[in-house]
Amino acid sequence: MVSERGLEVLRVIVHDYVESREPVGSKSIVERHQFGVSAATIRNDMALLEEEELIAAPHTSSGRVPTDKGYRLFVNQLADLRPLTAAQRTAIETFLGNSSDLDEVLSRTVRLLSQLTNQVALVQYPTFSAATVRHIELVRLSDTRLMTVLITDAGHVEQRTIDAGHEIDELFVGELRAKLNTRVGGRTLAEAAAVLSTLTVEFLPDRAPFVEAVCRALVEEAKAGRQEKLVMAGAANLVLTEEDFAGNLFPVLEAIEEQVTLLRLFGEMHQGADLAGGDSVIASIGRENESFGLAQTSVLASGYTASGGEIARLGVLGPTRMDYSTNMAAVRAVARYLSGLLGER
């Protein structure tokens, strides 16, 4: 059982080590922090923390560093998240508020989160399983090329380009556009895909190949809206903290390239968690990520709500030696703002 003073000693060890990357000794704790006890007493507290495997000596020096277990206890005991500055809050509102559609919103979100935390930022696209088709647009690009555009009620936009192989009849394109919107407008993506798959039979044989190509492109767009995918930014930040990774950084870089792995990690972190409020920030630390090839990293994640009510996740990934309080506050603030922004659209 760790005493209250022992928890405070652990807290300052985490703080000082995150700040300096140097092992923390009892003498520096007494000099830098107001404990009101001797260095010998702090050494005793540190010995107890070491027995509990919350801190360890990386070398033969007297300094100690937090272990994964120590970081976990520190995060569990973290009562207050360091508030964002007024400038940071303004940056969130300004940078995200100027986005025109969902793709740009999420692209800006992941870049902003990376800048705020100096970590790798990850944002999951909503799967839009409950999203409906708002509008289908067909845009003639040239005599033989056409762009298909599918827009959902959540503001998600998918597009494909097809080559008809013959001159496109502008009048027929208008008729097809009207029919497509009549048949699939307001339907869920799954329902729309099913309707589009059988629509070709309603047209004359000479029109069937062109209609089939258009419908095939739209089915691909509808299915793409239901697939899980991530946007990522800030991988270069890992290189800046390479000293925090024992051995080779390459396995970490290789692991984060696998979207399936990161999505599985996100899902496992939030299994059974209530994300609807957008306030919960969950941490997965060090060896807790070992099965994903990320045993030397920590991941902080929260949920945000898309306009269709879908819950998706965002977060940051970095070395276990990170500023948990500040980074968790940034993740929470961005998740809250993103939920509010998408709820207005």
Query: Dihedral through CA 326, CA 327, CA 331, CA 334, nearest 10?
Result: 60
What DSSP assignment string belongs to 197-242? HTGGGGS-TTTHHHHHHHHHHHHHHHHHTTS--EEEE-THHHHHTG
Q: Where in the chain is the domain with CATH 3.30.450.40?
A: 86-127+228-343
Q: Is the pTM of this model over 0.85?
A: no
- Domain boundaries for CATH 1.10.10.10 within the chain: 4-76
Instruction: Please state the CATH superfamily assignment of the domain spanning residues 86-127+228-343 in this structure.
Output: GAF domain (3.30.450.40)
| Burial 64-101, CB ≥16 within 10 A → b, else e | bbbbbbbbbbbbeebeebeebeeebeeebeebbeebee
Residue 210 to residue 178: CA distance in whole angstroms: 16
Query: How do residues 215-227 score in pLDDT, each as one tens digit?
Result: 999 998 888 766 6
Which of 84-98, 266-280, 317-331 is the least confident region? 266-280
Residues of the chain with CATH 3.30.390.60: 133-224
User: From CA 73, how far away is CA 67, in angstroms rounded?
Assistant: 10
Query: Predicted confidence band at 229 (pLDDT cuts at 50, 70, 90)?
Result: confident
What architecture is the 133-224 domain classified under in CATH?
A: 2-Layer Sandwich (3.30)
Residue 275 has a pLDDT of 43
Average pLDDT in the chain: 88
Which is more confident, 141 or 81?
A: 141
In the prediction, which pLDDT does 67 show?
Answer: 96
Structure tokens at 298: 């920590």
Domain 4-76 has CATH 1.10.10.10: yes
